[in-house]
Structure 1
Amino acid sequence: MDQYQCPLSLKTNGSEQRTGGSEETARNVTGNLVREIIQRYEGRYTTPPNIKEAVFGSDSTDLQEVCVNLRHGVKLHLVFGDITAETTDAVVNSTNFRDFHGGVCNAILSVAGRHLETSLTQANVNPGAVFITPPGSFPCKSIFHVHGRRKTRIIEQLVYGIIQQCESLQYKSVAIPAICAGAARLDSQAVTDTILLAIKNATSSAPLRHLSSIRLVLIEASLFLTFKRQLVQMFPHDVINAESFIQPLDFLSTISPGEQSVFFFLGLCRKEVDDAKTNVSDLYQAHCSTKTFDKKDLKDLTEADKKALQELLKSEALHVQEDVPGNGGLKVSGLKVGVNKVAQMLHTTTPLRREMKIKEEEKLYTLVTWFILGHDGKWERLPKAARNDLEKGDVAKGVVDKQAKRWSVDLQRMEARSSGQTTKLKRLENRADFTLPADWDNMSPGENLKVVLLQADSTEYQTTQNSFNQTATNTVTKIERVQNVHLRRAYEVQKQRISEKNHVQGASEKSLYHGTSQETCDSIKKNGFNRSFSGKNGAALGQGTYFAVSAHYSVRYAKPAADGSRTMLLARVLTGSYTQGNSSMRFPPPRSSQEPDDRYDTVVDRTNNPNMYVVFNDNQAYPDYLITFY
């Protein structure tokens, strides 16, 4: 138990007895005593002191925070204290945008950071306008900088603008000093009348949907009393005194409660002892605050961050409870200096962690891709949110595809279900410099060529076979997908070049047939097409590689193997812009005589509905499927 005894008095059997000394001396001693109480109290105790008896002058008993219920659920708090201890969403700085080393401006910038002086010096702010900057190290969301210019008309306009800006930014609370009553030395009564009337008008003219707490923070006692008298006159039926902290705080705390401190004060008379009890409670209240942190403020914290937060809550002896049970938010209460440290930690750490998380997710998004098989048999890339949940295995609530359809997930079977429909999931691991196409299978690290045998009952097999049999009556016995990383990468680069040149998305990509021998097919799937072999089956349209629109046309060039089987390639071909070909062409002709370097991409047998395309760049075609038939 801590006991503080005034040397001028003593307590005997519940009564006070004077032992000598002047009342003025007693009050001076008591003032120092109260300051010592606060200093000893800060950071040590989680409940207010158990105040037994106290003594000091009663001249400060009116310096108690008061509250007024305005219209539309807005509360106006009149606070005797330091604005740098506030934890509101917005804080107002009264400045002339030139001198930053005096009054409220100096105090705020000392916390926020002196780097803001550069922005304020360079600001070109019209009279009555609010200049908004980031908070720097101040535990708020924004700082509103205003210049009252010692004119009540401008001060009224500024207060109205502050409230409108808070509403526009969806801020819930704002702390405002007495604009122009400090260094500007404007008449305190004029400042009081102007600010209170402006607040009354701004909050009654139209409903406020977001702003619910306006705090007028006054550091001078005489100015506070002036505001208080005017407030009582303006709102005679709405003034509510702040709750006393003599009763213990009732919080559900995750931190073990600290020791309780008991103070004894010996007084000169009963009235001064009773006044002292109220004053100590008010002093405690003036140094306390409560701030709520949403789930979004906490969700990106690492385990190390959470441990550091727990240590801070413990060292500052703060109370913690769930904001709304189950939603993940926290309400932190205690001494303002401690609450501000928590706010500063979260406002610094959370955005940094969120940025790091976004970068990690972006990096992961390029390296890992999740797909869902659509009703048309094509693989559809899932959105980032679904991809992240699947990677983490966080699928209890299912995933949502690009059409906003929610699917329940079975990761063991790699299946997704929705409304009685079941489909497949697929996960591809990309290369650092190459994204695997959606229809490919995974490839091992360092594996650059993979030939995948398609299942006859798959949509991919049936689509390829049906396309072949539209013009060819031969029997297909096998279809293989060719996955060649080097060839496909070079093909995609060429596709981008032709698209940009022709200002056409996709470079007019077509699926065309190329019939040849089994030996040549094996070479093509490994090394790609080679126009140097042009002429083996004729070169009527030019010395390039030939591709047919119809499988029937290419069947005649597919030479039988020893077992009688034949092979044909179904290739992706970038046809781009084309013109009529002839046997003398070694490359496509220019598209314009004025630009000899701007050439066609391919030549054809006829420009009206071509049957045959010829390419002169090996990277302009990619062997997609190898079809074996009789």
Structure 2
Amino acid sequence: MAVNGIQLHLAFGDITNETTDVIVNSTNFIDFQKNGVCKDILTKAGPLIQGQLKGARTASGQIFTTSAGGFPCKTIMHVCGERSPNIVKTLAKEIVVQCERGHYQSVAIPAICAGQGGLDPNVVAKSILEGVKEGVQGANLQYLRNIRIVLLKIKVFLAFKAVAQQVFGGNAQLTAPAPLVPISIPTRGHSESAIPTRPRAVSLPTTYDLSSLLTSLPVTEDKAAFLVIGDCDKDVSDACRELQRAYDSQCSTQSFHSDEIKHLTKDELDQLLSKVHSLHLQLSASSSGEWVVKGLKDGVNEGGETDTTCTSQTGKREGTG
């Protein structure tokens, strides 16, 4: 999102892979060995940084700054949210202020207190995003240009995405992420697992002539190559099978006959096509004349429920959508 000239990114991934000028570490300054973002960051930063944190004293809502150690950044800001939404909000604003003061251009922030801290992801999202908003708006920032909020769990990422729409509303310009690009790197001990990604929405014409609709469907790319690297062929093969199983458990395909669509009214067809777009489903025609819908399981099922409802209204119940 573009907010007051700053690029605010919500990233689903691991903060230890970030290369921003500043990395924010969420810690209680006491226990550094528990699983979580803090342990991962300090493992990469090295024992020298962990040693600097032991016995560190900071006032509530303040930031303790260290060098980067082995982490590929310029500095690490260590914060303790104290399991308090108000303190998390204060810290988010202070992070923006200190980045600008230090002439840093980019910063990566985790979901402070959403992991070991135990706060509800929606509460954390509201606190961090409102804190960032207060730090950015009206500040006339000259250096800071890129704020990345990096979220390790999909549940937390989706919470931040929903709250971002509420906090920034019309002031935020949403941009789509870059598409996945297939790669091919044949080498010993590596394996590529070609797994369909979330299909792109098909641009459907406004005409309701079915033959024209079917022939105008564009060819869409629904494959992406995953490069899996391991110590032995068995480990790589097992990992590829796990990826495939994970995909199969989350995605679904359904087909229906074009005759079923002919009985829909204009409003009902509008509703069905709207579902295809909003749920990011892929719609294509099979060689047998059927329509095939592919996508995430919940999306395909919801689209199917819409079609079943529509056919029921018009007295046609056979088949599924």
Q: Give the TM-score range, shorter chain.
A: 0.5 to 0.7
Report the AA paired with residue 148 of structure 1. G
Deviation at residue 114 of structure 1 after TM alignment: 2.0
Instruction: Tell me the TM-score normalized by structure 2.
Output: 0.57
Distance 2:176 2:80 in 1: 31
1:97 lines up with 2:29 in the alignment: yes
Check 1:222–1:258 CA distance in 2 against 1; reply closer, same or farther (3 A cut): closer
Equivalent position to 2:149, from 203, 216, 232? 216
SS in 2 for 1:144: strand
SS in 1 for 2:166: helix
Report the AA paired with residue 234 of structure 1. V
For residue 86 of structure 1, what is the aligned residue in structure 2? 18
For residue 244 of structure 1, what is the aligned residue in structure 2? 179
Distance 1:174 1:279 in 2: 33
SS in 2 for 1:77: strand
User: 2:195·2:224 contact (CA, 8 Å) conserved in 1?
Assistant: no
Point out the structure with the larger strand share.
Answer: 1
For residue 117 of structure 1, what is the aligned residue in structure 2? 50
Distance 2:9 2:48 in 1: 31
Equivalent position to 1:234, from 167, 171, 187? 167
Report the AA paired with residue 96 of structure 1. N
1:138 lines up with 2:71 in the alignment: yes
List per-residue Cα deviations over 1:293-342 (Å, max 9, x = no partner): xxxxxxxxxxxxxxxxxxxxxxxxxxxxxxxxxxxxxxxxxxxxxxxxxx
SS in 1 for 2:113: coil
Deviation at residue 247 of structure 1 after TM alignment: 8.0
1:167 lines up with 2:110 in the alignment: no
SS in 1 for 2:25: strand
Report the AA paired with residue 148 of structure 2. R
Deviation at residue 110 of structure 1 after TM alignment: 0.4
Instruction: Tell me the TM-score normalized by structure 1.
Output: 0.30
Distance 2:63 2:42 in 1: 17
Distance 2:222 2:138 in 1: 37
1:275-354 alignment runs, 5 A limit: 280=224
Deviation at residue 205 of structure 1 after TM alignment: 2.6
Distance 2:163 2:9 in 1: 13
Report the AA paired with residue 230 of structure 1. V
Unaligned runs of 5+ in 1: 1-67, 249-256, 285-630
SS in 2 for 1:91: strand
SS in 1 for 2:103: coil
Report the AA paired with residue 23 of structure 2. V
User: 2:81·2:88 contact (CA, 8 Å) conserved in 1?
Assistant: yes
For residue 77 of structure 1, what is the aligned residue in structure 2? 9
For residue 413 of structure 1, what is the aligned residue in structure 2? none
User: 1:266·1:273 contact (CA, 8 Å) conserved in 2?
Assistant: no
Distance 2:195 2:125 in 1: 38
SS in 2 for 1:143: strand
Distance 2:194 2:21 in 1: 39
Distance 1:243 1:274 in 2: 12
Deviation at residue 274 of structure 1 after TM alignment: 6.2
List per-residue Cα deviations over 1:392-438 (Å, max 9, x = no partner): xxxxxxxxxxxxxxxxxxxxxxxxxxxxxxxxxxxxxxxxxxxxxxx
1:196 lines up with 2:129 in the alignment: yes
1:187 lines up with 2:82 in the alignment: no
List per-residue Cα deviations over 1:202-241 (Å, max 9, x = no partner): 1103111000000000001100011111123334451111
SS in 1 for 2:137: helix
Distance 1:105 1:111 in 2: 10
Equivalent position to 1:108, from 41, 48, 51? 41
Q: Name the % identity.
A: 39
User: 1:155·1:179 contact (CA, 8 Å) conserved in 2?
Assistant: yes
1:225 lines up with 2:151 in the alignment: no
Check 1:96–1:272 CA distance in 2 against 1; reply closer, same or farther (3 A cut): closer
User: 1:167·1:210 contact (CA, 8 Å) conserved in 2?
Assistant: yes
For residue 469 of structure 1, what is the aligned residue in structure 2? none
List per-residue Cα deviations over 1:11-33 (Å, max 9, x = no partner): xxxxxxxxxxxxxxxxxxxxxxx
Distance 1:272 1:119 in 2: 44
Point out the structure with the larger helix share.
Answer: 2
SS in 2 for 1:214: strand
Structure ranking higher on relative contact order (CA contacts 8 Å, 6+ apart): 2
Report the structure number with the largest CA radius of gyration.
1
For residue 445 of structure 1, what is the aligned residue in structure 2? none
Report the AA paired with residue 193 of structure 1. K
Distance 2:123 2:15 in 1: 21
Deviation at residue 265 of structure 1 after TM alignment: 4.7
User: 1:180·1:186 contact (CA, 8 Å) conserved in 2?
Assistant: yes
For residue 204 of structure 2, what is the aligned residue in structure 1? none
Check 1:262–1:182 CA distance in 2 against 1; reply closer, same or farther (3 A cut): closer
SS in 2 for 1:164: helix
User: 1:132·1:142 contact (CA, 8 Å) conserved in 2?
Assistant: yes
Equivalent position to 2:110, from 163, 174, 177? 177
Report the AA paired with residue 239 of structure 1. L
1:54-65 alignment runs, 5 A limit: none
Deviation at residue 280 of structure 1 after TM alignment: 3.9
Distance 1:96 1:201 in 2: 25
Distance 1:197 1:90 in 2: 20
User: 2:67·2:74 contact (CA, 8 Å) conserved in 1?
Assistant: yes
Check 1:191–1:273 CA distance in 2 against 1; reply closer, same or farther (3 A cut): closer
Check 1:144–1:246 CA distance in 2 against 1; reply closer, same or farther (3 A cut): same
SS in 1 for 2:161: helix
Distance 2:18 2:195 in 1: 34
Deviation at residue 150 of structure 1 after TM alignment: 0.8
- The total of aligned residue pairs comes to 204
SS in 1 for 2:175: strand
User: 2:12·2:152 contact (CA, 8 Å) conserved in 1?
Assistant: yes
Check 1:168–1:98 CA distance in 2 against 1; reply closer, same or farther (3 A cut): same
SS in 1 for 2:104: coil
For residue 240 of structure 2, what is the aligned residue in structure 1? none
Distance 1:148 1:156 in 2: 9
User: 1:232·1:239 contact (CA, 8 Å) conserved in 2?
Assistant: no
1:149 lines up with 2:73 in the alignment: no
